[in-house]
Chains A and B, each alone.
Chain A
Amino acid sequence: MPIWLELLVLMLLAYMAGLAIGWAIWGHGSVENDGNG
């Protein structure tokens, strides 16, 4: 596997991890616990 592909996969994984963390923080979009106002 070429190194750039490995790097691309790692970046995608990091990106998806960021999405997952964001979802965990802000993604619970019910009215009751939408603590943002």
Chain B
Amino acid sequence: MSPLFGRLRGAPPPDPAQAQAQAQRDQDSLERLAQGHVPLNAAERLATLAAADASTLAFASDLSVQEFSLLHRLGIVPVTLVMGSSIYQVGWQGTYYMEPTEIHSLSHAYNESRRLALNRLLEETTLVGADAVVGVRIEQGRHDFASGSVEFVAIGTAVRLPPALRGSDGPVLTDLEGQEFWQLCTAGIRPVGIAAHTSVHYVPASWQTARAMGGGMFGGSWNNQELGDFTQGVYDAREKAMTYVTQQAHALGADGVIGVKLDEHASGRRVSRGGIECDDLIVTFHVIGTAIRDDPSLADAAAAAVPRTVLSLA
């Protein structure tokens, strides 16, 4: 147990034996991380929580009061905050490419970082003996001390589900809020997991595009025209990400994916190709959603009432 600063006592005096033990623990944690697991401190805290009697322990949750009260009604019990995180270094990438192509080092870094973070979130949930995670926030971190790296952080509340809601294949991750989780359950739909993918594509400007954009000796074009190659590039990136997401959802045995968040970033890169200055396109697509499956046994007819329309006077 760490000291409670200011409340109980001051900081403990440094002790060489303790420092040595700490160094050993840090080393063990690094090895665990290399294998994709959560560090020692986290694993131990969760194990104590799992072993202890639920009634004697305080739960921690990032649920709002509204979410808490809805879940409480369904008999869903919060256990603790769980989290998964991974900082990933992006490897070498080409300065520019001559052919439309996926920038694999970037896509891979995003996907691996997110996969590791979500796996750790799942591992923490399993360790604490919970059945699902709700209210998950998945954010991309950015740190001054690790430029050129990507980070995903997933924080949510691990919950124990009543037997009726519990799935058969272990804990379930969702990126749903408590309200959404509640609505799905009462409507007879079971969330089965998170499906996500990122693809980063590089599209070099074709001769025609470069001319239309007004570079170099040819001057700009006055015509309205579609930049076919760029449109194609955006399509390629999006289709690739969506295809992977669909595949993951299939693998989870889902009927569909809801609450899909599509996040597109496009940036230009100025290059000189054959004496023509032009802007190539780098397009990044992040796709994430919760895979769901129909399960009529969950449905609660009373709760799935027709919404009443209200007019807010605020």
Co-complex (A, B): no
- The chain B residues found within 8 Å of chain A, CB to CB, are none
